[in-house]
Amino acid sequence: MIAWLQRLLRRKKSLPEHLKRGLWGEKVAEDALKKKGYAILGRRVRMGKRGELDLVAKQGETLVFVEVKTRAGEQFGRPFGAIKSHKKKMLMNAAKCYLLKLKERPRYFRFDAVEVIGREGAGEPVVRHIESAIKITRKYRIQW
């Protein structure tokens, strides 16, 4: 019984296609931000139970929390449209936790979005960087 369980735990599971595309999109977004002069501070930063920040970057004095959305195509709308109110709330909670763990709070911070449209190995992807894409809600503005 224990040997069976150990084999099961050691078995490598392949990721579903949409997760592979998401990881590829995050790498493409990271490279695009580096070309623009951003310093990448963290990738897939987990905060709390469900909060995750795709990328945490710094541009000058500004701390930037980046949400990356990857799609194979634009047939079903732009990827930025996938950031709904629930996702915004989770992002702000994760950012709040991140800021509280810092020794010194940054003077400025913002939430950006990066849209990556394409597939790995299928030519050059379309990358759109939207600065200040997610507005801070009143509740979090008062807390910060």
pLDDT mean over 81-99: 84
Is it true that domain 16-143 has CATH number 3.10.180.10? no
pLDDT at 90: 87
Q: What is the mean pLDDT of residues 94-113?
A: 88
Predicted local distance difference test score (pLDDT) of residue 112: 93
CA–CA dist 53, 113 (Å, integer): 11
Based on its alpha-carbon atoms, the radius of gyration of the chain, rounded to whole angstroms, reads: 17
Is a pLDDT exceeding 80 seen at residue 2? no
For residue 142, what pLDDT is reported?
46
> What does the domain layout of the chain look like in residue ranges?
16-143
What pLDDT, in 10s, does the model give residues 117-143?
Answer: 988 887 889 999 999 888 876 665 545
- How confident is the model at residue 9, as a pLDDT? 66
